[in-house]
């Protein structure tokens, strides 16, 4: 499970947005990040889409877990 959010134009001086995300497996946090982005978004929708894209970049490695022998146990 992954959660993401974007703070559109959160920096009043530069109008850049901040992305934040957290990735969980089995209720355990395995990755998180919060970063002010180098570009300016023209809308809150664009900022949210970019946040989702950054989240996907970080979560793609989870697909490598089964070949490495990781088995998710539902407790």
What does the domain layout of the chain look like in residue ranges? 2-68
Nearest to 33 by CA among 5, 14, 13: 5
Alpha carbon distance 35, 17 (integer Å): 9
pTM for the complete prediction? 0.71
63 CB burial (10 A radius; 0-12, 13-18, 19+): exposed
The pLDDT tens digits along the chain (75 residues) read 889 988 877 777 777 888 899 988 878 898 889 988 888 888 888 888 888 988 888 888 777 777 777 766 443
């Amino acid at each position: 499970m992954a959660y993401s959010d974007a703070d559109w134009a959160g920096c009043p001086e530069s109008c850049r947005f901040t992305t934040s995300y957290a990735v969980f497996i089995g209720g355990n946090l395995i990755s998180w990040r919060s970063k002010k982005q180098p570009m300016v978004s023209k809308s809150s929708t664009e900022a949210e889409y970019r946040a989702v894209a950054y989240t996907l970049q970080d979560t793609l490695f989870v697909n490598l877990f089964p070949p490495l022998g990781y088995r998710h146990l539902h407790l």
